[in-house]
């Protein structure tokens, strides 16, 4: 059974750096085709894709946020870490990590974490 | 940046058919995926690769593609189908950059 869980601060101040950790089980991030992505959702708004890391350490970032994001993986710990710099109140959102199935060109997200609400406020 | 366009809302009566569209220039070249999200919950995949249905998803959910538009069809809508629905795809540049549509609120009257 695949599970993912996000962890990190619930409150950050403007200009600070956010670090979120996704701890997963039920799959290996060294298996060909597998990826872990981050998606966020501001309150009452739409989903927004942030970043994705593949089993082979290939990384993809949202063009609009690329300069602020870094995604890394620790296969031995079954963890993926997302950092976002220079946080702003508009970054207030629920942040989800998710499991990507299939091959490279398959964008299927078949398992999601429960999400963690991050509020940016002074 | 690349965008997927969905209608903000769709309303249907129970038992009727709901159709939710998603438009994007790269959709002829890229698969589309559909997610259902109920309040306070994480999204759930209901359609992948334009028209494939994951195990456990009711048969009343189906997907289709025509040119730059993909459509999620829910036949015989039930009250429990009331939710937000999001399409997902990627740009056509081969860089595998994901994008989500703006979401459609399905209301069951």
Using the CB atoms, write b or e for A49-72: b if 16+ within 10 Å.
Answer: bbbbbbbeeeebbbeebeebbebe
Q: Which residues contact A67 (CB under 8 A, 6 or more apart)?
A: none
pLDDT of residue A101: 87
How do residues B3-16 score in pLDDT, each as one tens digit? 999 999 999 999 99
Q: Do A48 and B103 touch (CB under 8 A)?
A: no
CA–CA min distance B95, chain A (Å): 8
pLDDT at A84: 98
pLDDT of residue B96: 83
B98–A107 C-beta distance less than 8 A:
yes
CB atoms A110 and B45 under 8 Å = yes
From chain A residues 99-118, the ones with a CB under 8 A of any chain B CB are: 104-110, 112-115
B99 in reach of chain A (CB within 8 A): yes
Average pLDDT, chain A: 96
Give pLDDT, residue A103. Answer: 85
Please give the pLDDT value at position B1. Answer: 83
């Amino acid at each position: 059974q695949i599970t993912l869980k996000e962890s990190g601060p619930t409150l950050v101040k403007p200009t600070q750096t956010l670090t979120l950790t996704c701890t997963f089980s039920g799959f290996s991030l060294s298996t060909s085709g597998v990826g872990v992505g981050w998606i966020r959702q501001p309150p009452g708004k739409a989903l927004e894709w942030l970043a994705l890391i593949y089993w082979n350490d290939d990384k993809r970032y949202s063009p609009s946020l690329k300069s602020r994001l870094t995604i890394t993986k620790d296969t031995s710990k079954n963890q993926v870490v997302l950092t976002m710099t220079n946080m702003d109140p508009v970054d207030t959102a629920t942040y989800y990590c998710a499991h990507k199935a299939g091959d490279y060109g398959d964008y299927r997200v078949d398992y999601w974490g429960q999400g963690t609400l991050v509020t940016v406020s002074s | 940046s690349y965008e997927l366009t969905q209608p903000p809302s769709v309303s249907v009566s129970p038992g009727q058919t709901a159709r939710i569209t998603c438009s994007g220039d790269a959709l002829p070249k890229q698969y589309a995926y559909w997610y259902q999200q109920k309040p306070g919950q994480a999204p759930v995949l209901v359609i992948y690769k334009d028209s494939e249905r994951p195990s456990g998803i009711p048969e009343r959910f189906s997907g289709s593609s025509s040119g730059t538009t993909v459509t999620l069809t829910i036949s015989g809508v039930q009250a429990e189908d009331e939710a937000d629905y999001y399409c997902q795809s990627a740009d056509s540049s081969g860089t595998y950059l994901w994008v989500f549509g703006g979401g459609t609120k399905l209301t069951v009257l």
